[in-house]
Amino acid sequence: MLEWLTALSDTARWRIVRLLADRPRSVGVIAELTGLRQPQASKHLQTLERAGLAVSRRSGQRRIYALEPEAMLALGSEITRLAEVAADGRALFDRYASAVEAETVAAEHGRWPDERDYVFRRTLPASTATVWRYLSEPELLSQWWAPADLRLAHLEFGPQPGQPINQTYVDADDRSGKDGVIGHAIGAIEQVDPQARLTFVLSPLLADGSTAFTAHYVWLLGATEAGTDFEMRLRITDTSAPSAEFIAGIELSWDQCLDRLVSQLAAIINEGEPK
């Protein structure tokens, strides 16, 4: 695949491919139609043939080249597949960009989202005991408490009233640390009712170490026949003007986090672990 793309990256060879798509042609005709000298045209055609994108045969004093359609179809299928995979990511990228723009305009009024409320709900395919572990044990929390493009490199989380919360986020694919810390947040546990309710505050930090805003969280659990109903309430206070990008990403990030939690719980149930 890489050899195909390399062969097609040259503009002259791409013009040749377009000509061969119409019909097989000789080296001389290709040279005339592209404005290349015949040795140049011959070299480009040989490159396409070595890459498996063209075939040739000798006819008298002429060498005729034809395009290899199976290779082109395979390349086209792979590009189509990549485009389909990328579509969801691009939609999220555009959604976040639009939200940042809107929040940035709103931020001119100062403390614009204070007292804004968010509510997220999921039915989780596991018992409240299992879900509680995923909401309270740092090792399990770290597996899902991050949007798709990030991961928690460090997490401190109680859960006992008064205990601190400390989060450090890095790029999901950055294992060497070269990309540096992308996000940091600090907070504290407030109330704990095991397998039923957990409340805490959490503040993302800006680059200068000041808080972007304070998020007041309430996590509620309720047993159901399907597993556990989980409701997360979030209220924003103490917003600073530079926090527009943080505010813009709240809904998108939490949707991704909770979808990841659902998937992980479904996986452990499918593997036969007790609910």
pLDDT digits 0-9 by tens, 218-231: 999 999 998 999 99
pLDDT per residue over 119-143, tens digit each? 999 999 999 999 999 999 999 999 9
One-letter amino acid at 59 equals S
pLDDT at 103 over 90: yes
Q: What percent of the chain has pLDDT over 70?
A: 98
CA distances from 98 to 85, 102, 114, 120, 147 (A): 21, 6, 20, 21, 18
pLDDT per residue over 144-153, tens digit each? 999 989 999 9
- Domain 86-270 in this protein, CATH class: alpha beta
Spell out the SS3 assignment of 90-153: HHHHHHHHHHHHHHHHHHHHCCCCCCCEEEEEEEECCCHHHHHHHHHCHHHHHHHCCCCCEEEE
The pLDDT score that the predictor gives to residue 33 is 96
Domain assignments of the chain as residue spans, ordered by start: 2-67, 86-270
pTM: 0.79
Nearest alpha carbon to residue 172 among 201, 202, 146, 140: 146
Same fold, 2-67 and 86-270: no
The pLDDT score that the predictor gives to residue 275 is 46
User: Is domain 2-67 given the CATH code 1.10.10.10 in the classification?
Assistant: yes
What are residue 224's DSSP bridge partners?
Answer: 227
